Structure 1
């Protein structure tokens, strides 16, 4: 399929909001992995095959080149390929929200690439390294918004946390359509949801978001990203269905017997939030390859535990390893 040009990608913020809202109601948000060869070079064919398999499981939207997709290790040409593949494979069926980060000047370069590739919106990843005052956090988004036509979704986690007065300021940015929260301060998040303009989107971006999906839903944030969907969409979709249908017993079983042990395994080493997910995808036969340094692949012992847990989780939902 031909690359979508910025001239043909003319959907405005309101249209992207509508498509995201519709998608969020029907499925989890997919944050696809980026495939690499064993030597660490980008594997476009592997990425395409992996994305096709992900899209076949009906996610609400895809977010390529974000944290799970190792945005932090991609150069600009690789980023272009990753986003273009996502746009081509999605073919308009679901929104494509590309990651963009670092300071606003570099983020604007990635934004331009995402525009040219045909992405629908940008997830603005937390800036690099430094802590910043509230005025600076707001200015970061304002500067980026002035340099791209794409709608923006802010992402707060770690060193980025928007206070209420700052949120009111950034909510006035016409192209800012949503906020992804990875801090899990539900009192503060509730204040933001109550102050948000009509139609503003909120996403649960907590690590292994299913663990806190009920708590987030209680403050009105029902949409969530799922790292588990990156390697076991059957499990992620089963939990999503149980949650939306009010099947508390099935949700509890999946949390108790799969998600809690997975989080305990994930917490064994730094970087496992990505490298463990990628290892699990390889166990499913997905051609995603290794992680790039500074991440490292899981130890043999942890891989053995992951295989056992994954097999057990798939058995719960009637899927095969």
Structure 2
């Protein structure tokens, strides 16, 4: 990894410690019924997520509907996250689109007090490896914040490109959303010591054991956005080697959730938000182009959620 500033080094260490000790939280963004940003509701919701000790918090990313926020809303969300986090854990804000627009968001995140940036896949077009490297270099050259690249969709780094982005000052890690373990193993072997990796699959727990076998045990958790009890119970069981409980949670909660998620495009976010509303959390509806689930899917979601909570409750209850 390229030489980084002392400040960036502290961010890397805090992220490493956080990734070892808890799931990575990707909070939802709260909207009113008319679609306007609801900052008071967001602060309330976020405080509840952070009270459950995640390893780091990633506001205004995919789960937080970054793609539907304007720059003023983005600033407000990142500022509120920094305020609520109050230095207790790293705040990694999303940024993206083309490099020029990504830099506009990056500068806002700097001013808002974020610790680092997650660079979401660029807009629309496919690109060769040289272009993917150049995109990150452009962003890194324009911000003092450390960057974590996110490979998903049209962004997929090869081993040579990974070596090259790891030498860009400020690029500190990679979030993987492809779940191609052959490719990912090649990337981890090509990376310099200290480079961060984490599992960013849509429902990362499904593949957490597989990712760990190639040296990537850390993961983001969409479930933490609405049921931190389940997310943390899974993480604890995985860390402690309780394979029986991990398997039961996968079979009886996570797989049914994924099967429900796969019914409609966009449910990776809108179903998560619906589950949060079912629990009385003040997150509001999704924004277009996403749509909220219909009555039948909501009924099925409630059954899956209730069963997952009952599994965790049964483990917690004294014999």
TM-score in terms of structure 1 length? 0.96
| 1:11 CA drift (Å) | 6.5
Match of 1:65 in 2: 60
> How many Å separate the matches in 1 of 2:267 and 2:65?
12
Task: Name the CA distance, whole Å, in 2 between partners of 1:11 and 1:266.
Answer: 42
2:216 matched to which residue of 1?
Answer: 221
Are 2:297 and 1:298 aligned? no
Q: Tell me the secondary structure at the aligned position of residue 186 of structure 2.
A: helix
Give SS of 2:313's match.
coil
| Residue matched to 2:276 | 281
Is the CA contact (8 Å cut-off) linking 1:276 and 1:298 kept in structure 2?
Answer: yes
> For residue 107 of structure 2, what is the aligned residue in structure 1?
112
2:130 to 135, 150, 153: 135
1:102 partnered with 2:94: no
Q: Deviations over 1:31-89 (max 9, x none)?
A: 00000000000000111001000000000000000000000000000000000111011
Using the alignment, how far apart are the partners of 2:28 and 2:46 within structure 1? 8
Corresponding residue SS for 1:59: coil
In structure 2, C-alpha distance between the alignment counterparts of 1:240 and 1:174, rounded to whole Å: 32
Quick check: 1:64–1:97 contact (8 Å CA) kept in 2? yes
The one of 18, 26, 36 aligned to 2:13: 18
Shift, 1:244, TM fit = 0.1
Would you say 1:183 and 2:178 are equivalent positions? yes
- Is residue 192 of structure 1 aligned with residue 187 of structure 2? yes
**1:122-176, Cα deviation, whole Å (9 max, x unpaired):** 0000001111111110000000000000000000011000011111111101200
- SS for the counterpart of 2:149 is strand
Structure 2 residues without counterparts, runs of 5 or longer: none
Partner of 2:259: 264
TM-score (norm 2): 0.96
| Structure 2 partner of 1:307 | 302
Instruction: Indicate conservation of the 8 Å contact 1:122/1:150, yes or no.
Output: yes
What's the offset of the Cα at 1:106? 0.3
For residues 11 and 216 of structure 1, what CA distance do their matches in structure 2 show?
Answer: 30
In the other structure, the counterpart of 2:83 is 88
Q: Is 188-197 or 53-62 further displaced after alignment?
A: 188-197
Mapped to 1, the partners of 2:264 and 2:6 lie a distance apart of: 42
Q: Which position in structure 2 is the counterpart of 1:41?
A: 36
What CA distance in whole angstroms lies between the structure 2 residues aligned with 1:84 and 1:316?
36
Quote how far apart the aligned CAs of 1:13 are: 1.6
Return the alpha-carbon distance in structure 1 between the equivalents of residues 262 and 28 of structure 2: 19
What is the alpha-carbon distance in structure 2 between the residues aligned to residue 262 and residue 58 of structure 1?
A: 23
Q: Which runs of 4+ in 1 moved over 4 A?
A: none
Query: What is aligned with 2:202?
Result: 207
Structure 2 CA distance, aligned partners of 1:299 and 1:268? 11
Question: Taking structure 1 as reference, are residues 11 and 97 closer, same or farther at Cα in structure 2, changes over 3 Å only?
Answer: farther
Quote the residue 1:7 is aligned against: none
Counterpart check, 1:232 vs 2:212: no
Partner of 1:144: 139
